[in-house]
Chain A
């Protein structure tokens, strides 16, 4: 992948305000940003198209972040996967590994670190 291509990022969080805040934060980063408030909605998006990166909340109703990422990996195996959560302790490191998660972001996040993490994950 060359660096001038626009990278697509799918953000999943049941909190709409988190989605709009992340949009604001990443506004100038040049990503194509897609958002979903539930894992089901996100999976429907992935049925339609592929993305370069997925950033998902963990604690969500019905299907949580880990379950979603497992499903997402099947539909879009090349996307890098990241988790963003308000309580990082709830996810054991072994689980992160088995899900192929490359980064764990905690809420509240540091804007610059988040941007750097995304760039690194996307190999930019």
Chain B
């Protein structure tokens, strides 16, 4: 509550209008003062309590009404100044006791004092009033910020310069697994599982740095570790001196699960695109292994026929039955001739060898596929990027081998901290795109006349990074599309042959690794993708 206007409002309650010259005494206050004159006590009390009046001047000529008026203003009204023609000290004391703020005698030259006294009382009244209002405002703000903090969906912690918790809300209590009591006054630093979280908070408190949407982990009292997304900002005073920090954070468990699911389903979609190539690659060896097994069974039954005669011959020899030996030998020679035993033995060995090679090929394909379709553990590990690229190229090779010459130029690379499965998905997306671009340039199978395309894979170390370059000589990307290729659901492929998520997934995976991806393309000439990955993995800070 405040004053209705900056103009002061003086309520004068007189016994009879204008009798004592109060108006004259107050006229010195000029236009800044609005004077309101009343003779009726009830109206005066109502006006005095309206909140619009700064001071009440009460004419003691009112007699008993003056007392009633003073009593009613005593508790919560504006200050009241009593005036009379003459005022003895005793009488003045009595009115002070009744709650008068001041007493002024109008006779004897003191009339001039009235304006001064009135102003002084207004000043005091306004000072008290304003302080009260400010206190109210502070209480309101505290209440407001408290209810904002408590009702936020994000967890909030406010810490002082030592990292000691001064404020927390319900989501913070839930995520940290500690009661409000166990939070307040405790140091937050040790709850961070990883060095990066501790480092961020320390850097905010020491240098006033701000972090947005960083990832970290916290440990609950029961030992459980939770992934969190956290933003930290310093709390500084007007001079820029940091007095603490405010941190908002969320539990990322659910989000990370969704992220993994999305990655996994995108990966499965790219496996779907490979189905034809993989089916070929498996069905060819399956075809000849299957046929060979049936033929080997036939060979075996032929050889069994031969063996039966050999056994009969052995028996005849042991009994020395010459005639039987003669007959059996002839039968044996006939069957050996008929079944072509020499061929059977040679071809059986060949069929076994070929089938072994075929089954080995199938084993490889299935192994690579399984390797590729496993989800990542959600934790970065140290891996060989050359191997990731090579095993992915092995999977897509069957699909493209009839159209593409694959050139590989791998350099020795340092081990890279990464999500290997996600990197394989990146390579898969880029390789499939490269193949499709070549397929598009070469056109319909009927008009190809033996022409093939070329895909180059290159890896090299550069300082703290590794660079992976994938170049194709396919159809290329139009300049107007080049800015949009990493947008989700942007696709120029035919309906059903692309999800429009491949490159946007690729982009976000590279970004998650703290890396960059660049594209260069000339229509009808080809496209080059360059990926730069930090050897030490994603920089979680900042």
A17 CA to B356 CA, complexed, in Å: 11
A87 adjacent to B292 (CB under 8 Å): no
On chain A, the residues within 8 Å of B446 by CB distance are 66-67, 70
Report which of A15, A27, A61 forms a contact with B402, defined as CB distance below 8 A.
A61
B350 adjacent to A90 (CB under 8 Å): no
A62 adjacent to B291 (CB under 8 Å): no
A24 adjacent to B357 (CB under 8 Å): no
A87 CA to B347 CA, complexed, in Å: 28
A20 adjacent to B354 (CB under 8 Å): yes
Asked if A41 is an interface residue, CB under 8 A from chain B, the answer is no
> Which segment of A3-11, A73-81, A102-110, A116-124 sits at the interface?
A102-110
Interface residues of B in 279-307 (CB under 8 A from A): 279-292, 294-295
Q: Do A17 and B286 form a contact, CB below 8 Å, given A25-B295, A59-B402, A66-B445?
A: no
A86 adjacent to B282 (CB under 8 Å): yes
B287 adjacent to A20 (CB under 8 Å): no
Report which of B285, B289, B291, B401 forms a contact with A111, defined as CB distance below 8 A.
B291
Asked if B358 is an interface residue, CB under 8 A from chain A, the answer is yes
A20 CA to B276 CA, complexed, in Å: 24
A59 adjacent to B292 (CB under 8 Å): no
A56 CA to B467 CA, complexed, in Å: 43
On chain B, the residues within 8 Å of A87 by CB distance are 276, 279-280, 283
A21 CA to B350 CA, complexed, in Å: 10
Residue of A nearest to B401 (CB): A61
Asked if A64 is an interface residue, CB under 8 A from chain B, the answer is yes
Q: Smallest distance from the beta carbon of A39 to chain B beta carbons, Å? A: 10
On chain B, the residues within 8 Å of A109 by CB distance are 287, 290-291
Interface residues of A in 86-103 (CB under 8 A from B): 86-87, 89-90
Report which of B282, B291, B452 forms a contact with A21, defined as CB distance below 8 A.
B291
Q: Do A18 and B288 form a contact, CB below 8 Å, given A25-B294, A61-B401, A66-B446?
A: yes
A109 CA to B284 CA, complexed, in Å: 10
On chain A, the residues within 8 Å of B358 by CB distance are 17
Q: Do A24 and B351 form a contact, CB below 8 Å, given A86-B283, A87-B276, A107-B287?
A: yes
Interface residues of B in 51-79 (CB under 8 A from A): none
B445 adjacent to A86 (CB under 8 Å): no
A86 adjacent to B291 (CB under 8 Å): no
Asked if B450 is an interface residue, CB under 8 A from chain A, the answer is yes
Interface residues of B in 313-358 (CB under 8 A from A): 347, 350-351, 354, 357-358
Interface residues of A in 16-51 (CB under 8 A from B): 17-18, 20-22, 24-25, 27
Q: Do A20 and B288 form a contact, CB below 8 Å, given A61-B401, A86-B279?
A: yes
On chain B, the residues within 8 Å of A24 by CB distance are 291-292, 295, 347, 351
On chain A, the residues within 8 Å of B287 by CB distance are 18, 21, 86, 107-109
A60 CA to B358 CA, complexed, in Å: 18
On chain B, the residues within 8 Å of A108 by CB distance are 283, 286-291
On chain B, the residues within 8 Å of A67 by CB distance are 445-446, 448
Report which of A18, A64, A89 forms a contact with B284, defined as CB distance below 8 A.
A18
Q: Do A107 and B294 form a contact, CB below 8 Å, given A17-B354, A62-B450, A66-B445?
A: no
Q: Smallest distance from the beta carbon of A3 to chain B beta carbons, Å? A: 23
A22 CA to B448 CA, complexed, in Å: 29
Q: Smallest distance from the beta carbon of B404 to chain A beta carbons, Å? A: 10
A17 adjacent to B288 (CB under 8 Å): yes
On chain A, the residues within 8 Å of B282 by CB distance are 86
A22 adjacent to B283 (CB under 8 Å): no
On chain A, the residues within 8 Å of B292 by CB distance are 21, 24
Q: Mark B451-462, 1 if CB is under 8 A from A, else 0.
A: 010000000000
On chain B, the residues within 8 Å of A60 by CB distance are 402
A27 CA to B299 CA, complexed, in Å: 11
A107 adjacent to B295 (CB under 8 Å): no
A87 CA to B281 CA, complexed, in Å: 10
A111 adjacent to B294 (CB under 8 Å): yes
On chain A, the residues within 8 Å of B280 by CB distance are 59, 85-87
A63 CA to B286 CA, complexed, in Å: 23
A60 CA to B285 CA, complexed, in Å: 15
Residue of A nearest to B279 (CB): A87
On chain A, the residues within 8 Å of B294 by CB distance are 25, 111
A118 CA to B344 CA, complexed, in Å: 24
B401 adjacent to A86 (CB under 8 Å): no
Q: Smallest distance from the beta carbon of A41 to chain B beta carbons, Å? A: 14
Q: Mark B159-192, 1 if CB is under 8 A from A, else 0.
A: 0000000000000000000000000000000000
Interchain residue pairs with CB less than 8 A apart (13): A17-B357, A18-B284, A25-B295, A62-B402, A66-B445, A67-B445, A86-B282, A107-B283, A107-B284, A108-B283, A108-B286, A108-B289, A108-B290
Name B's A-contacting residues (CB within 8 A): 276, 279-292, 294-295, 347, 350-351, 354, 357-358, 401-402, 445-446, 448, 450, 452
Other A-B contacts than A24-B292, A62-B402, 18 sampled, CB-CB below 8 A, are A15-B284, A17-B354, A20-B288, A20-B350, A21-B292, A59-B280, A61-B401, A64-B445, A66-B445, A67-B448, A70-B446, A86-B282, A86-B283, A90-B276, A108-B286, A108-B288, A108-B290, A109-B287
**Cβ-closest 10 pairs across A and B:** A86-B283, A107-B287, A21-B288, A108-B290, A24-B295, A21-B291, A86-B280, A108-B287, A62-B450, A107-B283
